[in-house]
Amino acid sequence: MRKILVALALILLAVSPSDGASQGMFDLLQSLRNGGAWVSIPIEAGSGSVVTEEIPTLGLTLRGCVQVYAGHSGLWDLRAWDTLGEGRLEAEVAAGESVRFSYTTGSRAQLNVEARWTEPRDTTLMVWVGLETTLLPDRDACVPVYGSASVP
């Protein structure tokens, strides 16, 4: 299961709409430099989804951790899959719970992500996607960064 959790890390590539695939790659590189990023998924009546743009990933290996923002309540069922690769995720996580991952992408990636909440309300699901990087060798990818990379 850890290997397939990279699907959430790939959300960093294109959660926010951009004008082109190069923006998605820039976002990924910026996130790698910063050790991760917060990803938001709009939730209506307890469920939501996002589909990312197709972007070049060139066989990039990503290692790190995903964590639902500790301020959320309830449990979250997450399903994510790379439509162009083998990455898959089906997991139930609680707020503040971390799960490590490791995955090597194909030459391109595009994700479908679905989230279901145990509470049938509207919110924005915030997920920390921490990435291991040689630029920050002593940083634990599972510890969210607040401040300049804070939750909106």
Q: Using CA atoms, how far apart are residues 132 and 70, in angstroms rounded to an integer?
A: 21
Q: Using CA atoms, how far apart are residues 125 and 48, in angstroms rounded to an integer?
A: 9
Q: Over 60: is that where the pLDDT of 150 sits?
A: no
Report the pLDDT value the prediction gives residue 63, as an integer from 0 to 100: 82
Domains and CATH numbers, the chain: 3-131 (2.60.120)
Q: Is there a contact between 146 and 45 (Cβ–Cβ < 8 Å)? A: no
As a whole number, mean pLDDT of residues 84-98 equals 86
Q: Is there a contact between 10 and 52 (Cβ–Cβ < 8 Å)? A: yes
Report the pLDDT value the prediction gives residue 140, as an integer from 0 to 100: 92
Report the pLDDT value the prediction gives residue 72, as an integer from 0 to 100: 95
pLDDT band at 31 (very low <50, low <70, confident <90, very high): confident
Nearest to 101 by CA among 8, 33, 13, 12: 8
Percent of the chain clearing pLDDT 90 (strictly above): 28
- Strands, DSSP E only, in the chain? 36-43, 47-51, 55-56, 61-68, 75-82, 88-94, 98-104, 108-109, 111-117, 123-131
57-81 pLDDT, tens digit per residue, is 788 777 888 889 999 999 999 888 8
**When comparing pLDDT for 88 and 149, which is higher?**
88
